[in-house]
Chains A and B, each alone.
Chain A
Amino acid sequence: MEKQLALEMRGITKRFGNVVANRNVDLDLYRGEILAVLGENGCGKTTLMNMLAGIYFPDEGTIRINGKEVVIQSPKDAFAHGIGMIHQHFKLVDLFTAAENIVLGVHQEGRYNIREINAEVAKIADRYGFHLDPAKKVYNMSVSEKQTVEIIKVLYRGADILILDEPTAVLTPQEITRLFSVLRRMKEDGKSIIIITHKLNEVMEVSDRVAILRRGEHIATVNTKETDEARLTEMMVGKKVLLNIERLNPVNPVPRLEVKGLNLYSSEGVHVLKDITFSANGGEILGIAGIAGSGQRELLEAISGLQPLESGSIIFNNPKKDQPVTFYHKSLKRVKELGAQDAFHDRNMNPVSFAGMNNKAIRKWVDSGGVLFREDEVMNLRDKTPLEIRQLGVHLSFVPEDRLGMGLVGSMGITDNMMLRSYRKGPAGFLDRKKPKALAEEIIGDLEVVTPGVNTPVRRLSGGNVQKVLVGREIAYTPKVLMAAYPVRGLDINSSYTIYNLLNKQKARGVAVIFVGEDLDVLLELCDRILVMNNGAVSGIVDARTATKEEIGLLMTGTERKEEDHEQA
C-alpha cells in the first residue's frame, strides 16, 4: 500500500515556565490511518495535539502538512490546514441546535439557510454512519451525541486530519463500539485520525500505529499489529525494572480504620462510590489499584471528611483500653471533654474526674501517665469535617493527588506550608513560625529537598521536591492513618524510593498506610494487600504477595459477573 504523509512534526518542544511539556517530539501521520497517541496522564499528549490545533504555539520545531511547512497560530489556521480537534471538554452552545453549532464561525458566501445546512449535516452523518438529528438542541443531547456534533463540526469544515482527545472517556461500551466503526469509515474515506488515549485495549482495537509518549518525549511509533499490550505498557511506563522495594512483614496488625457500605454521589448526581467496604490495618500498607477515575480520589476525600456521604460509616479504632492518655494526639480540651464523659480511670481503676482542677494540674496528672482509658476508643468519622476529626484527636494524614492545588499552597514557602496543619496551635491570634521553620529545615535535611531556602515559594520547586515537602509534613503530623494518592506520580526514581521508604517507616511505626497507585509493579512490591476499584466499587481485595498483575488487571476492568461474585463472597 502506498502511504502518503499527511502530517510531520519535527523537533517540537513546548515549555510552560520551567516545566517542559514536550521535548523534541517527532511525529508522522499518514493519510488514511488511525494513529493512537499513547501515554500516561501528564505525559504531554494533549499539549502536543493542542499545538496542531492552534491552541498553543510550539517554542521550537516545525510542522509540515502534505509536505509543506506550515505555521499554526490559531484554531483558524488549523482549520485552514484541514486540522480539526475534538477536545475532551466539548465546546458547544447549549441553546443552539446541532446544525447551528456546526456552522457557527464558518464564513461562507451566500445567505444563511438552515434547511440547506441541516441537509448537508445529515449527509455527512449518513456518509460515516453517525446518528444525529441536525435540528436537536444541544441541551437535549447525551454526551455521545454532543461528541458526534463536535466530530461533524470539524468534518463540515473540511478537516482531513481529525484529533480526538480521549474520546472514549465519557462513553458507554456500546457507544465506544459505534464511535470506532465511524472512525474506521472515515479512515477508509482517506481521513487521517489521531486518537489520544491511555487505554491499551482501545489502542489495540482501533489503531493502525501507536506513538508512545513518556514524560513529554516521543519514545517510539510502532505498528499496532506487530505489538501487544505488554510491550506497549513497557514503553509507556519505561523499561521493566526490578524495583526491589523493601517490604517488611506486618507486625501484629490491628484494624485501625473500618469503612462500611460507603455510598457517595457527586454534585452532578453520579454514583461515584458504590457500597465500599474494607478495613485498613495498622502496620500494613493497603494498596488501592484501579483505572484513573474509578473513585479512588473520592474515597480518600470521603475518609478525610471532604465529601458528604450518602450512607455508610467510617470507624476509627484506637485500642487504648487501660493505657495512659497522652497529649501526643489529644489536646487538653479534648482530654477535658473525655474526662467529663467519664472515659478515663486511674491506675487503681477509680473513675477520673477533672472537676475543680486547673489546667496545669490536669496536664501534670496526664503527663505522669496516671490517667488511663476505660475502653478502647471507637469513633465514627462520618459527617465530621477535617477540623472536627482533628479535634477528636484522630491523626489522619492525607497526601492528595493535587499537590499544589490541595496539599500545599504554591505561593508560600516551605515554612508556611508546614503550618497548614498546625497553625492553630500556639498563642491566640498570632502565628508561631519557630516550630514550623525548624520542621521545614528538618525535612529539607532529612529528605534532601533541593530548595534555595525555607521561604522560596514551593511552586518553584521541582515535582519531586514538592512531594517530599508534602509527604514530610503529613508524616510529621504523627499520623495513625496515612493516605497517599499517587505519591510518586511524576517523580524520578530516587525521589520515588525516598517516598517508598517513608511509607515503609510509617508502616513499621504501626501506622495504617493507604497507598493509591497506578503502577502495578510498585503496588505489588510495596503493599501488603491491594484493594482494586472498578467504576466506583470494590472489585476485589488481593494479597499483594501472591497476586499477579493479570489478576489485578482483570479486576480493574472487571465485568458485571465479577462484581456479583464479589458480592457473594
Chain B
Amino acid sequence: MGILEVQNVNKHFGGLHALNNVNLDVKEGAIHAIIGPNGAGKSTFLNCLIGKLAPDTGSVMFQGEPVLGKKPYQINQMGISRVFQTPEIFSDLTVFENVMIPCFAHRDGSFMLNAWKAIKGETDIREQADRILLDVNMQDKLHMNAASLSRGDKRRLELAMCLSQDPKLMLLDEPTAGMARADTNATIDLLRDISEKRGITMVIIEHDMHVVFSLADTISVLAQGAIIAEGLPDEIKGHPKVREAYLGEAEV
C-alpha cells in the first residue's frame, strides 16, 4: 500500500492521447522520480494529481482517499503540496509574509474571517515562519520583497512555503531547472535532507539525470503518455526500452 496510488489514468487532448493507462504506486517516505522526454505527459500527469486537470478516466487515491473531483485548495489541505516549474510566489509581498501565508493556511484551514486580529499578535505563526526560513537559510532576507530575490532564492522560498504546511506529499516539477551545477547540488542536498528529516514523500519530475540518479529511490519512465519502465535507479539505467526512448538521446 502506497501513500499515493494512481490507477488507469487516461487523458485526451483532442486527438492526442496524453496519458495512456498510467499506473503509479508511491511508497510512503520515498523519493519517486518521473522522467521522460519532452511531451511525454509528465506535467499533464502532475496537473491531474493537484486538481488542475481532470483525467478522463482512472482513479487517484491519497492515503486511501480519492483526490479526483476535489478542488485544488482541498487537495492541498489533504497534505499535497506542489512546487512549480517556474517559482510561483507572492512577488509583491515580503519573504516573511510569503512564508506566513501557508502557515496560516495550515493552521486556519481554507478560509477564516479574522479581519480584527493583528498579524503582529500571531506569535506562533511568526515563530514558525522564522524557523522555516532558518531551515532554508534565508533568515537574512526576511524583509526583502520577494520579487527582488534571485531565481535560486525564489525556488528556495517556494520550497520553504511548501514545507511550512507540513505536507505529507510534495510534487516537484523540475526543481533544478535553469540552475548552475553548484546550485543544483545544493538543492539535491536540501531535498534529501528534507526527505530524511521530515519523512516527506516526494514525486519529482526532472530532466537532469544527475539529479534523478542522486536523489530517487524509485524511477518511473514516461514516454508518449505511458509508463514504459519502473524500478530502482540501477535497473532503469540498464533498461533497453528506456535507453531507446530517452537515455539514448541524452548523456548518462
Are both chains from one complex? no
Q: Which residues of B contact A (CB under 8 A)?
A: none
